[in-house]
Amino acid sequence: MGTTAIVSAILTLLAGIGIFLIACQMMSSNLETASSAKLKSLFAKASKSKLLGVGIGTVGTAAIQSSGATTVMTIGFVNAGIISLTQAATIIYGANIGTTVTAQIVALGMFGGNAISTTVIFSALAGVGAFLALFSKKASGKTLGGILAGFGMLFVGLSLMSGSMEEFAALEEVKIFLASISNPILLVLIGAILTAIIQSSSVMTSIALAMCVTGLISLDQGIFLTMGSNIGSCVVAIIAGVTSGINAKRTALIHLLFNCSGVVVFMLVGWIVSQLSGGSVTYGTIFNDMFPDVPQTQLAMFHTFFNVATVAFMLPLTNFLVEFVTRILPQTAASGSEGLHLRYIDNNMLQTPPIAVAQTKKEILNMAQLAMDNLDRSLTMVTTLDFREREKFEKTEEEINYINMALVDFVVRLTDKKSLSHHDHLYLSTTFRTVRDLERIGDYAENIVEYADALDKAGDRFTQSALDEIARLKVLVHSLYDKVMVAYSDENFAFLREANDIEEEIDDFTKFMEDSHIERMAQGACKPETGAHYLELSSNTERIADHLINVAKTIQSLK
């Protein structure tokens, strides 16, 4: 084989890797879109059950075909305080199992002899999917087309990689060189480094599969390369963890220690078995006997067995692993959670847009609760002139303002993601106004505190009848808030209608408050200055009700 052929083989390999990576991304984004509702429900069920965590990680990764996305999203959940380190660890365990699905699919595509190979059949789906995505008028059809096209391109890339491996296999020099790399530790390091460079364990495993099938490397060499790919896959999590909080860093370290532990244990067991058998029994010989004459299945099955066995070994040690990582990375003053931060979302969640949308809604509901808490504090201060919660009020207002800016920035970046469903895009378009409405509620609460300050400075207070009316108004606003939150969170139009009725009742009641105030003024029961504050309070609260109903009405845009 001449120099031209060697260069051609290298370029073909690079082309295959490129197509394979694009195919993985295309499948991942379209699968996320197709299963967004199920993914949201799935990750919402994360609990203290370790097995449930493993199941969530497995199914979630198999659904979106990306262990990296699952891991980064998990780091985001930990950083936002949604799940504990223990829960995160078990989800990552499951992600390692879920990622073996790709290797099994690739191995399946390598079958075929004199008949039409499965690679050719599956590759044809790229054309079917492209036509479906191009000509389908429905969003669901375009999504399905994207999934099929990505799935087909996966095998187009695999075919190119396999073809380049066959050309390399014809070179005696390449065979001799690869045969000389027999040290398991060196092979693991090569697998880890290559995976870290291309940031995809699926690609590395697929290359190893192609090399085994073409006879370029032995099954044992492929096994050690695959082990190394598990370590190299931690790079994505490490990058995400370094730029986040202390718990995110701990999660990334858990991922690294988990994968390294599995490799160390398997290599140690393999060495002991090899020594006891005089070198006649290795992982390669075991899986060759179990699945004779199908090297692609042998390596794919080892990959699955390796990850499942590692999870089974590490699962009982999870609490110890979490405690160990916590000691290595202790909580410090600098890494504490005293600063302002979003409670339910994290930039790492942008890796998985459907989940990020669900968390955005939770953050908005949290902002609404903070605004109502401050409204209650302001009404307490203005009616009792008790300012003991003044500091808490000011801190909450600062948090509301922070959420307003940070959430808008997050949603802008999230809106650019192509894997969002049409409904999610519509929802995100409404969030800008919703956040503004909630921020205005906080501003009106500030106004009410200013009225309390003015009353306190003047040594005056509202009459008992005025206090009774404010108490009644507060009950009405809370009733409206409860209806609005259900309507908004569940997109419930029945509750929207009930909220509209209550909002009209508030309009009528604030008009009644004005009339009552005029009557008290005529009787000389209150001073003009005090009455002015009362009227402003009534007007501000009525506008708060308007902003609340605006939040509920956004669901009308989602039909």
Q: Which domains does the chain have, with CATH numbers?
A: 3-328 (no CATH), 347-558 (1.20.58.220)
CA of 5: how far to CAs of 10, 162, 164, in Å? 9, 15, 10
Q: b/e for 280-311, b at 16 or more Cβ within 10 A?
A: eebbbbbbbeebeebbbbbbbbbbbbbbbebb
With 0-12 / 13-18 / 19 or more C-beta atoms within 10 angstroms meaning exposed / middle / buried, residue 508 is exposed
Q: Which residues contact 410 (CB under 8 A, 6 or more apart)?
A: 342, 345, 347, 350, 356, 360
Q: Enter the tokens of residue 450.
A: 């200013």
Q: Give the per-residue pLDDT at 119.
A: 65
**What radius of gyration do the chain's Cα atoms show?**
31
Say how many CA atoms lie within 13 Å of 53 toward its Cβ: 20
Residue 428 contacts residue 415 (beta carbons within 8 Å): yes
How high is the pLDDT of residue 79?
72
Decide: helix, strand or coil at residue 547.
Answer: helix
Measured in residues, the chain has a length of: 559
- pLDDT below 50 — which residues of the chain? 114-116, 333-338
Q: Which helix (H) or strand (E) holds 244?
A: none
pTM for the predicted model, two decimal places = 0.67
Quick one: DSSP state of residue 131?
A: H
Looking at residue 216, its pLDDT comes to: 83
Question: Can you tell me whether residue 338 is helix, strand or coil?
Answer: coil
Give residue for tokens 């789906």: 125
Phi (first) and psi of residue 342, to 5 degrees: -75, 140
Nearest to 130 by CA among 109, 151, 111: 151
Per DSSP, helices labelled H in 35-138 are 36-44, 50-64, 67-79, 85-98, 100-109, 118-123, 125-135
3-state SS, 384-440, equals HCCCCCHHHHHHHHHHHHHHHHHHHHHHHHHHCCCCCCHHHHHHHHHHHHHHHHHHH
Count Cβ atoms below 10 Å from residue 521 Cβ, excluding itself. 16
**Structural contact between residues 211 and 46, judged by C-beta atoms closer than 8 angstroms:** no
Report helix, strand and coil shares of the chain as percent, to nearest 5. 85, 0, 15
Question: Distance (Å, rounded) from C-alpha 474 to C-alpha 11?
Answer: 71
pLDDT at 174: 65
Contact 407, 360 (CB under 8 A): yes
